Amino acid sequence: MKLLVTGGAGFIGSQFIRYMAAKYPEYRLVNLDKLTYAGNLDNLRELDANAPYAFVRGDIADGELVGKLIGEGGFDAVVNFAAESHVDRSIEDASLFVRTNVLGTQTLLEASRRAGVKKYVQISTDEVYGTLGETGYFTEKTPLAPNSPYSSSKAGADLLVRAYYETYGMNVNITRCSNNYGPYHFPEKLIPLVITNAIEDKPIPVYGDGLYVRDWLHVEDHAVAIDKVLHGGKPGEVYNIGGHNERTNLDIVKFVLKRLGKPETLITHVTDRLGHDRRYAIDASKIREELGWEPAIFLEQGLARTVDWFVQNQEWWRKIKAKE
């Protein structure tokens, strides 16, 4: 199989490339990434130098580049991780999110359709469903009700993917995951920000009361799930991918501080984010029943490993934070 992975220098995309290269050494992998602030080729430093892998620097919204790459590449499948993904940045400027997440997805879809690509997988987010109360779970039937410019742009992309299935009969899947964590996580997101600030004895900003609930999924489990969807997902179907690890933001922060032996006095409550969704939680029974996937890494185990990775790989994240 020849596979185009877009956004493969990012946190989740790079994990997927490392996983696929190790599991399927006969596959040919091409990574298309613009290398914006969150794209980092150091994320692929563990990749075997002999792996059949190539990197192309480029923008998924660049129709000429994408059309030529996919049109001439002979790809069997495209997996699209490329996205602007930080909610705070989308609140400051939504235009880039619309360009990359919506127009970029349509550009990939059209090039894939014209080239006869056999499979297209869109990596989305549970945030397209909006927010939950204290009970209940997102299922694949939950109506889309995004509440931020970021999640709205991802919902728009999902609808385009659906349209290419319904209109053109393309073999597509959409995956919607809960919050990821793990090694190589860009340090603007909650868990790596908490870890790195705590190591540096800097204040740890917590939005509002800190009781916002998220379902945490280890990025290694996520890569396995996408592999299952790539090879076995039914055409046109959506698959939710959840970690079954609901915790408040404060729970996460306190775990990290305890693991590092740092005081809770580092916690600093800051003005809440605009339109902050209170709770996300995923029902992942469909992917379990149809494709045999379920998470293998418990949160406490995975989070401890993640903290230790950031302690042991300070050169990686200190270089990033110095640029920021």
End-to-end Cα, the chain, rounded Å:
38
Question: What is residue 50's predicted lDDT score, i.e. its pLDDT?
Answer: 83
Please check whether residue 54 lies inside any domain of the structure: yes
pLDDT tens track for 257-280:
999 999 999 999 998 788 788 899
Of 53, 137, 150, 164, catalytic: 150
Question: What is residue 191's predicted lDDT score, i.e. its pLDDT?
Answer: 96
Please check whether residue 236 lies inside any domain of the structure: yes
- Contacts of 257 by beta carbon, 8 Å cutoff, 6+ apart: 194, 198, 204, 263, 264, 266, 267
CATH number for the domain spanning 78: value is 3.40.50.720
Of 33, 59, 127, 277, catalytic: 127
Of 33, 59, 84, 126, catalytic: 126
Taking the C-alpha atoms of residue 107 and residue 62, their distance in angstroms, rounded to an integer, is 8
Question: What is residue 274's predicted lDDT score, i.e. its pLDDT?
Answer: 83
Please check whether residue 132 lies inside any domain of the structure: yes
Question: What is residue 176's predicted lDDT score, i.e. its pLDDT?
Answer: 98
Annotated active-site residue 127? The verdict is: yes
pLDDT tens track for 154-182:
999 999 999 999 999 999 999 999 999 99
Q: Which residues of the chain have pLDDT under 70?
A: 324
Taking the C-alpha atoms of residue 13 and residue 323, their distance in angstroms, rounded to an integer, is 22
Please check whether residue 198 lies inside any domain of the structure: no
Radius of gyration of the chain (CA): 19
Taking the C-alpha atoms of residue 174 and residue 241, their distance in angstroms, rounded to an integer, is 10
Annotated active-site residue 150? The verdict is: yes
Question: Do 8 and 32 form a contact (C-beta atoms < 8 A)?
Answer: yes
Question: What is residue 227's predicted lDDT score, i.e. its pLDDT?
Answer: 98
Please check whether residue 260 lies inside any domain of the structure: no
Question: What is residue 86's predicted lDDT score, i.e. its pLDDT?
Answer: 76
β-strand pairing of 172-177 with 238-241? parallel
Please check whether residue 269 lies inside any domain of the structure: no
Taking the C-alpha atoms of residue 125 and residue 242, their distance in angstroms, rounded to an integer, is 10
Instruction: Judge residue 141's burial from the number of C-beta atoms within 10 Å of its C-beta, 0-12 exposed, 13-18 middle, 19 or more buried.
Output: exposed
Question: What is residue 324's predicted lDDT score, i.e. its pLDDT?
Answer: 60
pTM: 0.95
Please check whether residue 83 lies inside any domain of the structure: yes
pLDDT tens track for 100-115:
999 999 999 999 999 9
β-strand pairing of 2-6 with 77-80? parallel
| Domain count of the fold of the chain | 1
Closest CA to 104 of 61, 64, 160: 61
Question: What is residue 273's predicted lDDT score, i.e. its pLDDT?
Answer: 80
Question: What is residue 196's predicted lDDT score, i.e. its pLDDT?
Answer: 97
Write out 87-110 in H/E/C secondary structure.
HHHHHHCCHHHHHHHHHHHHHHHH
Please check whether residue 205 lies inside any domain of the structure: no
Taking the C-alpha atoms of residue 233 and residue 81, their distance in angstroms, rounded to an integer, is 17
Q: What range does the domain containing 42 cover? A: 2-182+216-243+276-298
